[in-house]
Amino acid sequence: MQVRKRIVATLPLLICLVAAAVRPAVAAGKSDPKDLVTQVRKELMRLPYNGAFDFLVFSVNGPTVTLGGEVYNASIKKDAERELKRISGVENVVNSVEVLPVSHSTTT
């Protein structure tokens, strides 16, 4: 019980210290490539119609993000590119995502 109280008591302090350490870098306009990779990953995960069979990959080279993979819905390709262009620090998006054809399976 004591350990839990200590953790709860020190958590706000830890959050404040992390925020204070991050704020000067953000104010100076410095962008860490790891932060850009994290932001790109988050935006791709938030795509609303991204299904289990859609496969998206990306690489970050400076301010350029290259998208690749395969999707079943063409709107996912467009949505991914549009959302990545909105991220600060991304200047160019190369969209090499392939839209897969519709399956014509027949059942008997």
Cα within 13 Å of Cα(23), Cβ side: 6
Q: And the tokens for 2?
A: 């004591």
State pLDDT tens for residues 55-93.
999 999 999 999 999 999 899 999 999 999 999 999 999
Contact (Cβ atoms closer than 8 angstroms) between residue 37 and residue 89 = no
Judge whether residue 49 has pLDDT over 80.
yes
Query: How would you classify the pairing of strands 55-61 and 64-71?
Result: antiparallel
Instruction: Name 38's bridge partners.
Output: none
Q: What is the pLDDT of residue 76?
A: 93
- pTM attached to this predicted model: 0.63
Contact (Cβ atoms closer than 8 angstroms) between residue 31 and residue 65 = no
pLDDT band at 39 (very low <50, low <70, confident <90, very high): very high
Judge whether residue 41 has pLDDT over 90.
yes
pLDDT band at 25 (very low <50, low <70, confident <90, very high): very low
| Rounded Cα–Cα distance for residues 108 and 71 (Å) | 27
Torsion, Cα of 15, 42, 93, 89 (10° steps): -10
Judge whether residue 28 has pLDDT over 50.
no
Q: How far is CA 53 from CA 56, 57, 71, 99, in A?
A: 10, 13, 7, 12
